[in-house]
Structures are given as structure tokens and as C-alpha cells.
Amino acid sequence: MFGKKAVQNPMQGGYDTTLVPLMGDTNFNTVAKIYALAQVAAGITARIFEFTVPARYLYCWGWGILNAVNNQGYLTLGIFKAGTGIQTNRITLAVESYDRHNFQPVKEFVDIQANLGVNTSYATMTGTQNNNGMLALPMTTVIALPWSRLAINAYVIVAQANLDSVFFSIPITAKSS
């Protein structure tokens, strides 16, 4: 066969999964730790989550293909004070190198696009269906190598006092290398 060799997707053969708060590194692995980190004034950016990629694995944010109907991951995320108010943040999903010298954003969005906006409880805030309190996140092209991090930063647009709840469910693709 002559011509160009087909380029293989490095994530081919990977599997779809979901990133949730309990999967975070030690300082980011509980809901209480995450909303404490998010409790900053408007105009401040806070690192609210980190997940270090284990040895012999590759990860990337999202899964599936954007233009294929129902073939992409959907995320939901919210930070709020139950029954009182919702904090509005510009969320940045990024891949950060193991030595923290390279920070590469892969998706930015305002979190009110990724939840139902009803802050009475976790259940009333969480999106449950595609396009209803959820945001599409197809597989991104930036790959997190072993010992690098999947990171979530929150730039606070509208602060909420006394945060007590946070949730997220974010699609990722994982592959054993």
C-alpha cells in the first residue's frame, strides 16, 4: 500500500469512565475539602481538584465524539450552600505536567451551564439527562501522561458565603499503556 500511514489515536482502546470528588489526590478527595478550597472571594481563582495519573496509564478529559448523537460524555458540576445560594464559577479543566511547569487548559465553562440551578439539595441541583443540567464533553486531544494531573480550577464570578455542598461527575477516557 502506498501513501500516508493512518494516524492512530493514542487513546484508541481506552475506556470511558467518570471523575468524581472521591477520586482526587489527598488534599482534594472529599466534598468538604473541595468546597473549602472553593470558598474564596469573587475575582479569585482556586484550585479545587487534582487527580494524579497513575503509572502506566493515560487519561484525557471527556469521551466520545462531539457530532455523533448521544456519543459523547456529559458533565455536571455545582458548588453551593444548600437552600441559600449557588456560587457561580468559571471552571477550567486542564492537564498539568508532573512538575507543574506546564498547565494546558482543555475546556472552560461557567458552571451554571452544568447544573439545574435549584439549590435545595444535591438531588435538585444535579443534571440527570443530556442537555438538561449537563454539558457535553467529547474526548479532548490533550493527554495526561503518568504522574501528570487532571486539574480543575474555579474562578469565582459570584461568591456564596458558607458553602456546604459540591458535586461533579466529569467524563474521562482512561487507557492502560
In a domain, 7, yes or no: no
pLDDT of 65: 76
User: In 39-160, where does DSSP find H-type helix?
Assistant: 122-125
Domain that holds residue 129: 15-176
CB of 49 within 8 A of CB of 145?
A: no
Q: Three-class SS of residue 32?
A: helix
pLDDT of 7: 54
The answer on pLDDT for 5 being more than 70 is no
In a domain, 6, yes or no: no
Classify residue 164 as left (phi > 0), alpha (psi -120 to 50) or beta: alpha
pLDDT digits (tens, 9 = 90+) for 26-77: 999 999 999 999 999 999 999 999 999 999 999 999 998 766 767 888 999 9
pLDDT of 1: 46
In a domain, 156, yes or no: yes
In a domain, 1, yes or no: no
Q: Read off the pLDDT of each residue in 4-29 and give the average, rounded to a whole number.
A: 84
**Number of domains making up the chain:** 1
CB of 137 within 8 A of CB of 86?
A: no
In a domain, 34, yes or no: yes
pLDDT of 170: 95
What's the angle, vertex CA 45, arms to CA 41 and CA 51, rounded to 5? 125
Q: Which residue has the cell 471523575?
A: 19
In a domain, 60, yes or no: yes
pLDDT digits (tens, 9 = 90+) for 72-123: 889 999 999 988 889 999 999 999 999 999 999 999 999 988 888 887 777 7
Neighbouring C-beta atoms of residue 15, cutoff 10 Å: 11
Burial class (CB in 10 A: 0-12, 13-18, 19+), 144: buried
For 21, phi then psi, to 5°, come to: -50, -40
In a domain, 41, yes or no: yes
CATH number at residue 116: 2.60.120.1170
Q: Read off the pLDDT of each residue in 141-157 and give the average, rounded to a whole number.
A: 96
Return the amino acid letter for 10.
P
Burial class (CB in 10 A: 0-12, 13-18, 19+), 71: exposed
pLDDT of 6: 53
Identify which has the larger pLDDT, 152 or 66: 152
Q: Where are the beta strands (DSSP E) in the chain?
A: 15-19, 45-52, 57-61, 73-81, 85-86, 88-96, 103-110, 135-137, 149-158, 165-176
In a domain, 71, yes or no: yes
